[in-house]
Amino acid sequence: MVTDLKLIHPQRLAHQRGDQRLILREGTIVDVTLIAAPPSTKNKAKARDPEMHQTKKGNNRHFGMKAHIGVDAQSGLVHTVVTTAANSSDVSQTHALLHGQERTVFGDAGYQGVKKRPENQGKTVEWLWR
């Protein structure tokens, strides 16, 4: 569970905090986290939530959704959050996590091949993966 989430509006690329001005343009870190949902059908409708899906991470199965998150690499401010079904790939929402002014995008192995996807063609950013 995320307890210290610093959110800003995705369209607002400058944030005033005291006398410190934070400008989001150097780089974006992209990552995903699982949001668990109860898989039980012991409810009034006797059914699972139709928007929730199952995914496998390592050897464990998870039921719920994914939160795809774009974070400013310098300040640590979250500038974009997109939710999808848990069975969507991490790389599928990368284009939606970019604010357009970053020069570098950082991600993990789940984002390899992102620059080959049609929605990311022509982006003038450096893609770095660990």
Query: Which tens digits make up the pLDDT trace of 47-106?
Result: 767 777 778 777 887 788 889 999 999 888 899 999 998 888 889 999 999 988 889 999
Helix, strand, coil percentages, rounded to 5, for the chain: 15, 40, 45
Q: Which of 90, 97, 92, 102 is nearest to 126 (CA)?
A: 102
The Cα 63–Cα 54 span in angstroms is 4
CB distance 71 to 78 below 8 Å: yes
Number of domains in the chain: 1
Does the residue 39 lie in any domain?
A: no
The domain in which residue 118 lies consists of 14-31+68-129
Residue 112 lies in a domain: yes
Query: In this structure, is residue 73 part of a structural domain?
Result: yes
Residue 49 inside a domain? The answer is no
